[in-house]
């Protein structure tokens, strides 16, 4: 980064935790007097949560981040549009279409219809997202992790056997109560990073792993062939933010996901899952909550610089302060 040029920040992110963190990064950049934050901030978004439902393509994490940056998100529920209504959803249910446990808001459906139309016209998810981003002043460039459809499938234990279902069925219908055995993204081996992803990582001054679910949000992004390699080769520091505070997950059901892959719900275990770039992993630095400060030395022993700092993103100022600490690792 030259003395007068804007920093180039790349964030790998999932839905709710990801959006709060991205809002914090945008605020931290604005606090530096940067007006064109869209030129500085690229967000690579998980698309493993995506699904086809009632004939439309949903991209829950993409939409959560878009709506949050636009300031039109439902902050109470954590997904969908603020002040949305559900007339079409009730009608779909009368028809027996879709899933009775999965609500499609009217305004949200407008997004899905527009996206599906453009996809059916031959556009790629990357171009659709770029087009959608023009509606609001998001102050960030959003990229899907890949243009391939690699929706997450959860295999659960059932009686003496196993059964597979779409991630959204496991997450919203069963609230992650069915014991997961595996998470897969069929087709991901042949997927490529979306255009712009690898270049953004290669040209970044810092790459941040948001405090999103390490298994079903960050995990799919890292599983796209080429992303892990790009992170390992990046000239910039790769800095992760722990999604664990005080030995517990902050939101969602990440503990169930971590247990399924044999990882403890601790800041140390998640750091170890990502691994040190000094070894064969990804992280140069790991931000740990004050409540987990006791593991800082063990994180350092993994070869990852640890930084103990407040991680609660309970309001915009705290999210910005957290992002500030993360950017500070790269001297930005």
| Residues forming the site for ligand FO1 (CB under 6 A) | 14-15, 49, 58, 60-61, 63, 79-80, 102-104, 108, 168, 171-172
Instruction: Please identify, using beta-carbon distances, which residue of 49 and 205 lies nearer to ligand FO1.
Output: 49
Instruction: Please identify, using beta-carbon distances, which residue of 155 and 172 lies nearer to ligand FO1.
Output: 172
Instruction: Please identify, using beta-carbon distances, which residue of 241 and 327 lies nearer to ligand FO1.
Output: 241
CA atoms within 13 A on the CB side of 312: 5
332 in Cβ contact with 36 (< 8 Å): no
Question: Rounded CA gap, 311 and 309, in Å?
Answer: 6
Instruction: Please identify, using beta-carbon distances, which residue of 16 and 191 lies nearer to ligand FO1.
Output: 16
Question: Rounded CA gap, 120 and 102, in Å?
Answer: 23
Question: Rounded CA gap, 255 and 264, in Å?
Answer: 8
Q: Min. distance of Cβ 278 from ligand FO1 in angstroms?
A: 31
**Nearest 5°: CA angle at 166, between 154 and 147?**
105
Residues paired with residue 13 on neighbouring β-strands, in sequence order: 45
Instruction: Please identify, using beta-carbon distances, which residue of 26 and 112 lies nearer to ligand FO1.
Output: 112
Question: Rounded CA gap, 89 and 98, in Å?
Answer: 9
Q: Min. distance of Cβ 15 from ligand FO1 in angstroms?
A: 3
33 in Cβ contact with 89 (< 8 Å): no
Q: Min. distance of Cβ 79 from ligand FO1 in angstroms?
A: 4
Q: DSSP letter for 291, please.
A: G
Q: Min. distance of Cβ 276 from ligand FO1 in angstroms?
A: 27
Q: Min. distance of Cβ 90 from ligand FO1 in angstroms?
A: 13
DSSP codes, 209-260: E-SS-TTTTHHHHHHSTTHHHHHHH-SS-EEEE-SEETTEESSTTHHHHHHH
Q: Min. distance of Cβ 221 from ligand FO1 in angstroms?
A: 13
Instruction: Please identify, using beta-carbon distances, which residue of 254 and 332 lies nearer to ligand FO1.
Output: 254
Cβ within 8 Å of residue 268, ≥6 positions away: 292, 295, 298, 299
Instruction: Please identify, using beta-carbon distances, which residue of 26 and 81 lies nearer to ligand FO1.
Output: 81
Q: Min. distance of Cβ 239 from ligand FO1 in angstroms?
A: 22
> What's the helix, strand, coil split of the chain in %, to 5?
40, 20, 40
Q: Min. distance of Cβ 114 from ligand FO1 in angstroms?
A: 14
Instruction: Please identify, using beta-carbon distances, which residue of 170 and 274 lies nearer to ligand FO1.
Output: 170
């Amino acid at each position: 980064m030259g003395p007068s040029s804007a920093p180039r920040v790349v964030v790998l992110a999932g839905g709710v935790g990801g959006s709060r963190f991205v809002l914090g990064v945008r605020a931290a950049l604005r606090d530096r007097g940067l007006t064109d934050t869209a030129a500085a901030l690229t967000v690579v978004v998980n698309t493993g949560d995506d699904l086809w439902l009632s004939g439309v393509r949903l991209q829950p994490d993409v939409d959560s981040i878009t709506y949050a940056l636009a300031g039109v998100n439902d902050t109470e529920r954590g997904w969908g549009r603020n002040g949305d209504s559900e007339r079409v959803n009730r009608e779909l249910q009368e028809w027996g279409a879709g899933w009775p446990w999965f609500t499609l808001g009217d305004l949200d459906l407008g997004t899905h219809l527009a996206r599906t139309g453009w996809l059916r016209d031959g556009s790629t998810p990357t171009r659709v997202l770029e087009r959608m981003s023009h509606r609001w002043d998001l102050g960030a460039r959003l990229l899907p992790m890949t243009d391939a459809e690699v929706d997450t499938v959860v295999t659960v234990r059932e009686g003496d056997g196993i059964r597979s279902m779409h991630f959204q069925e496991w997450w919203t219908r069963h609230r992650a109560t069915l014991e997961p055995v595996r998470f897969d993204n069929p087709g991901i081996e042949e997927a490529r990073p979306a255009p712009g992803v690898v270049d953004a990582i290669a040209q970044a001054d810092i790459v941040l792993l948001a405090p999103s679910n390490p298994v079903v949000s960050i995990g799919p992004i890292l599983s796209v062939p080429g992303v892990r390699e790009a992170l390992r080769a990046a000239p910039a520091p790769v800095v992760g933010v722990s999604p664990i505070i005080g030995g517990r997950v902050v939101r969602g059901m990440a503990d169930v996901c971590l247990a399924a892959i044999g990882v403890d719900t601790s800041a140390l275990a998640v750091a170890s899952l990502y691994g040190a770039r000094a070894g064969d992993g990804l992280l140069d630095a790991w931000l740990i909550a004050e409540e987990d400060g006791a593991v800082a030395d063990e994180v350092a022993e993994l070869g990852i610089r640890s930084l103990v700092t407040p991680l609660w993103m309970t309001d915009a100022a705290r999210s910005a302060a957290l992002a500030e600490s993360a950017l500070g690792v790269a001297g930005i």
